[in-house]
Amino acid sequence: MTLPREALAVDVLPAARLLLGCHLIADTADGEVAVRLVEVEAYRGADDPAAHSFRGRTARNSVMFGRPGHLYVYFVYGLHFCANVSCLPDGEPGAVLLRAGEVVSDLEVARRRRPSARRDAELGRGPARLAALLGLRREHDGVDVTSPESPVRLLPGQAVPGSLVRSGPRVGVAAAADLPWRFWLDGNPAVSTYRPGGRRRSQQV
């Protein structure tokens, strides 16, 4: 059973914590790939200068303003795709960036998806690698992850004890960089390496 849409119709911070431990399943050209989300990052609309939605609605960021439970996929630096899950009620912009996931499906399929990964922990470590592993591209922008018929589905995972959840500054942003809106599972090897932001990375990445 997929995660109910109403569970994501909340502020970005509880939505981010909720997503930790959830399973994201994608139908790829190589077969089904599933990950357990181990690192996420919250971005809230008009009061968050690091969010794509900070300056208002555009064709690019419209998913952030729509119903919760949809993928917001964008291209960054002309190199990579990154994926977010929209949250907050319809009309209120917000999304949670999916930063890292550990593979919980057939590892051979996942290794074919990411042959450059030196270790299994690196298969979905970092938002660009995670999107590549799951085959998420521009055509997945707007996909409803709460629908059982969707090519990308979000399922509840086992509850994560609060003692395992850590939070800290977001990665690669200059604006509002000190907000502790990145959440991860303590000690999980698939969590990405923290790198502070800079002038080149001035918005959500």
- pLDDT band at residue 198 under the 50/70/90 scheme: very low
Which token pair is 18?
């909720």
- Torsion angles phi and psi, residue 129, rounded to 5: -65, -40
- How far is it, in rounded angstroms, from Cα 66 to Cα 142? 9
- How far is it, in rounded angstroms, from Cα 126 to Cα 57? 26
Give me the mean pLDDT over the 180-192 stretch: 96
> Burial, 73: exposed, middle or buried (Cβ in 10 Å; 0-12, 13-18, 19+)?
buried
Which token pair is 120?
């299994």
Per-residue model confidence as pLDDT tens digits over 80-126: 999 999 999 999 999 999 999 999 999 999 999 999 999 999 999 99
- pLDDT for residue 193: 84
Give me the mean pLDDT over the 18-43 stretch: 98
- pLDDT for residue 76: 85
- pLDDT for residue 78: 73
Q: Model pTM?
A: 0.93
200 pLDDT above the threshold of 50: no
- pLDDT for residue 174: 80
- pLDDT for residue 199: 36
Q: Which CATH superfamily is domain 5-185 in?
A: Methylpurine-DNA glycosylase (MPG) (3.10.300.10)
Per-residue model confidence as pLDDT tens digits over 117-158: 999 999 999 999 999 999 999 999 999 999 999 999 999 998
- pLDDT for residue 183: 97
